[in-house]
Amino acid sequence: MGSKNKLKRFLENETFKNVIQPKRQDLENGTVVLKGNWANHFKNDNPIVLELGCGKGEYTVGLAKRNPNKNFIGIDIKGARFWRGAKTALEDELTNVAFLRTQIELVDTLFAENEVSEIWITFPDPQIKYKRTKHRMTNQNFLNKYKQILKPKGLMHLKTDSEFMHGYTLGLLHGLGLEVLYANHDIYKNEGSPKEVLEIQTFYENQYLEKGKPITYIQFRVH
């Protein structure tokens, strides 16, 4: 994507009522208070579902269309990517969609205890090198952050093309004694995955499928 195109999307994001772009400093010092106030943003008390590292926002928008009685928030630091999802949501008049431009590690400053019902992690960077372990979105530190904001029995979903990420996460969940509800190492070959796991495909997922890579999925709880 060219720099001019990126700039155009950044500027357009600033005009979108469904895009929120807080500054990290404001979140850390508490001058922007989103935490605990998402019902006010959506003007209802419907369950909140997050897509972390939402990319172009395909899951955020796809799930919102299927579940009008839930609110969906896509989170990513790359605003030029989720511009597409935000624009589509506005074009389709989806009032249960928001996009939040921020770092994933700040998620516990953005949501209060028990404020989130469900979290999707779709095709994250597996951060395979050992020194990058702290950046894996299912490491123990991140799982503890998710536990802080999720309701008891709240669902977690990991969908990835990375067999490494799939195996790492399963091993960690079992080691921590957390509940794995379902795991599939090749969702399009082995039956049993939820419909939304099969029916909603991201831009990157389609690229992986063209290369013949298996897509994996885990549904689990951190409480």
SS3 of residue 216 by DSSP:
strand
Question: At a CB cut-off of 8 Å and minimum separation 6, what does 25 contact?
Answer: none
What pTM, to 2 d.p., does this model score? Answer: 0.94
**Catalytic residue ranges:** 125
pLDDT at 34: 86
| pLDDT the model gives residue 28 | 78
Please provide the size of the chain in residues: 223
* Distance (Å, whole) CA 106 – CA 87: 25
Q: What is the pLDDT of residues 56-72, one digit of tens each?
A: 999 999 999 999 999 99
Local structure of 203: helix, strand or coil: helix
Q: Report the pLDDT value the prediction gives residue 2, as an integer from 0 to 100.
A: 66
The Cα 164–Cα 7 span in angstroms is 35
Please determine, for residue 178, whether its predicted confidence score (pLDDT) is greater than 70.
yes
